[in-house]
Structure 1
Amino acid sequence: QGGMSLAQTAGHLLLILLLIEARKTPGNAHSLCLDLTVKSQSRPGQLWCQVQGSVDTKPFLWYDSASNKVKPLGFLGKEVNDTKAWTEISQTLVEAGRELRMVLPVIKLDKNETKGPPTLQVKLCCQREAEQCSGASLHFSLDGQTALLLDTMSITWTVIDPGATGIKEEWENNQELAEYFRTISTGDCSYWLREFLKHWEKMQLPEPTVSSNCLIVMNIMKKSGTTAGEKPAGLWLLGRFVLVRTWES
């Protein structure tokens, strides 16, 4: 009873394998998203635009029109708030909010479904992988309900709410507006993400080393306490396999 059974030891080794594979699955893909919320009408001094920025879903930036200031969030925000990329993204957020506010009047919703002017939420995201932009999109929502999706890499629209077709038409008719947001999502966003990742990656916990993984497996093998009725040869092979995969990762 004092030692671990073959099944228990094998389970531990397989768990290590799963952790290794899970670590490898995401690859080197990283994302930067800017969540903008814009209202068409507000009293002087009232909030009409707010933005939260995140890298790999971790918030690092906050902006609101009431204070007209971009504030750092978390460790990454404090790390990058004196960089050139931070200055550029701060200026762009103010401009983008104003541009989106101009789009709101073209939105026509069912009067029975909403009271007053709608609130527009736009999630602007880009992704980098293998040192290049691998994806970019704009996700439009009205009063919290998904309305439109735009793949800015291929300029492909997905209309979910027919009431939001005015946004699509405005984008198609206003080439300057369309090019402005396409450039932000596929160009500027990717550049900002690249610059922020230089700081972000330094802050991540170091990957387990080969030697530490070897020690873990060796410790499990040592404590396994195989009995005559078990098959130590199979356990040994499994341990060897884990060591090889650990080295490859």
Structure 2
Amino acid sequence: MGGCRVLLLLACEALCPPLGAAAGVHSLRYDLTVKFQRGFLHPRFLAEGHLDHEPFLHYDSEKGRAEPRGLWAHMALGSDTWDAETKDLAERGKKLSADLSEFNDKQRREGGAGLHSLQETWGCETREENPPRGFWDFYYKGELFLSYHPEKRSWKVPPSSAQTLAEKVKEQWEEDHTQSRATWAQVRGELCKTLQRHLHSWMDFVNRTVSPAVNVTCSEALNGTVTLTCAASGFYPGNISLAWQEDGEHVSPDAPLSGDVLPYRNGTYQTRVTTSIPQGEEGKFSCHVGHGGSHRTHPAPCGPPGLKMQESRGHCPCLA
């Protein structure tokens, strides 16, 4: 083992945070979908939320609960946020389903085919020094069907295969003053306030560091050789150094996958490094972990039968 001693530095760009966008450019976006199949509204309604193009929310009507996506959403947004998101999205799902039923009725009265699905996108965006701007769009078969313009307090009908229907819906919605006022308040006020709240929450969270949980394992001896594996998981950000050391000096990894830093579903990261050594030399080896300015060393757990793993956990409340 003395011939190859190199520093294994696992460098991974940290999870691209919502505030990774250019200064002053931010967006909040919700994408909602309801489907129409075989003459009946499909009972499933789906929604996804993105902050600066990074997912932070998922809603499935079969579960009936808005759920976090990404480390920030898991750790920084409290139960009040998820209760409010769940209530709002459940109500919006019912409204979107009713809109789809209404659109289909209009189509059938004109002798046309009904819509099979309806997508709705709403949110708010800020750009440089301009004031926040809300948006609200409807899509049919991937085509922009209706688009709300808050500057004119009116709906715009772009060219589409359902343009005639869109014109009728536009006329009806603009005549309904109650709906017009509600749309205006949502686009110009509520959505942009939500964007600002989430950005403040991210600012409070962004400087946090989540330490890795480190598991060190030692395999059974095979042909006089023992395999050592050091695995780190649940850490954030993704920059980490992980290496096996022999008498305090770094050794090269043996496993082809050693060194890959992989994302986990909650926004944290995981990685490992593996090396093979002659049986009987276990006492010379330890795993060195550097993350977030701290450094720890974990000795190889080889020894008497039954001693297979040493586990050292950092602070990682995000893991479920």
Q: 2:95 aligns with which of 86, 95, 99?
A: 99
1:175 Cα deviation after fit = 2.4
Counterpart residue type for residue 185 of structure 2: T
Counterpart residue type for residue 202 of structure 2: W
Structure 1 length-normalised TM: 0.61
Aligned equivalent of 2:200? 198
Q: Give the secondary-structure state (helix, strand or coil) at the position aligned to 2:132.
A: strand
Larger Rg: 2
Q: Take 2:182 and 2:74, find their aligned partners in 1: how far apart are those partners?
A: 28
Q: Deviations over 1:183-203 (max 9, x none)?
A: 222222112111111222345
Q: Take 2:32 and 2:146, find their aligned partners in 1: how far apart are those partners?
A: 15
Aligned equivalent of 2:124? 126
Q: Give the secondary-structure state (helix, strand or coil) at the position aligned to 1:97.
A: helix
Q: Take 1:143 and 1:82, find their aligned partners in 2: how far apart are those partners?
A: 36
1:115 Cα deviation after fit = 6.0
Counterpart residue type for residue 183 of structure 2: F
Aligned equivalent of 2:269? none
Alignment of structure 1 residues 228-243 onto 2, 5 Å: none
Aligned equivalent of 1:142? 140
Are the counterparts in 2 of residues 61 and 77 from structure 1 also a CA contact under 8 Å? yes
- Structure that is richer in strand per residue: 2
Change (3 A) 1:66 1:170: farther
Alignment of structure 1 residues 199-238 onto 2, 5 Å: 199-204=201-206
Alignment of structure 1 residues 20-99 onto 2, 5 Å: 26-39=22-35, 41-42=40-41, 46-47=43-44, 49-82=45-78, 84-99=80-95
Q: Take 1:80 and 1:185, find their aligned partners in 2: how far apart are those partners?
A: 25
Q: Take 1:149 and 1:105, find their aligned partners in 2: how far apart are those partners?
A: 19
1:134 Cα deviation after fit = 1.6
Q: Give the secondary-structure state (helix, strand or coil) at the position aligned to 1:42.
A: strand
Change (3 A) 1:101 1:131: farther
Q: Deviations over 1:117-153 (max 9, x none)?
A: 4311111021246899520111110122211211234
Structure 2 length-normalised TM: 0.48
1:56 Cα deviation after fit = 0.4
Extract unaligned runs of 5+ from structure 2: 1-18, 209-320
Change (3 A) 1:83 1:191: farther
Q: Take 1:175 and 1:80, find their aligned partners in 2: how far apart are those partners?
A: 38
% identical aligned pairs: 25
Change (3 A) 1:200 1:121: same
**Greater relative CO (CA pairs within 8 A, separation 6+):** 1
Q: Give the secondary-structure state (helix, strand or coil) at the position aligned to 1:124.
A: strand
1:52 Cα deviation after fit = 0.4
Q: Give the secondary-structure state (helix, strand or coil) at the position aligned to 2:185.
A: helix
Q: Take 2:55 and 2:35, find their aligned partners in 1: how far apart are those partners?
A: 22
Change (3 A) 1:63 1:150: same
Counterpart residue type for residue 194 of structure 2: W
Q: Deviations over 1:203-242 (max 9, x none)?
A: 5479xxxxxxxxxxxxxxxxxxxxxxxxxxxxxxxxxxxx
Q: Take 2:99 and 2:27, find their aligned partners in 1: how far apart are those partners?
A: 26
Q: Deviations over 1:65-87 (max 9, x none)?
A: 11111111111221344154443
Extract unaligned runs of 5+ from structure 1: 1-22, 207-249
Counterpart residue type for residue 196 of structure 2: R
Counterpart residue type for residue 100 of structure 1: L
Are the counterparts in 2 of residues 138 and 152 from structure 1 also a CA contact under 8 Å? no
Q: Deviations over 1:142-175 (max 9, x none)?
A: 1222112112343243212313223312321322
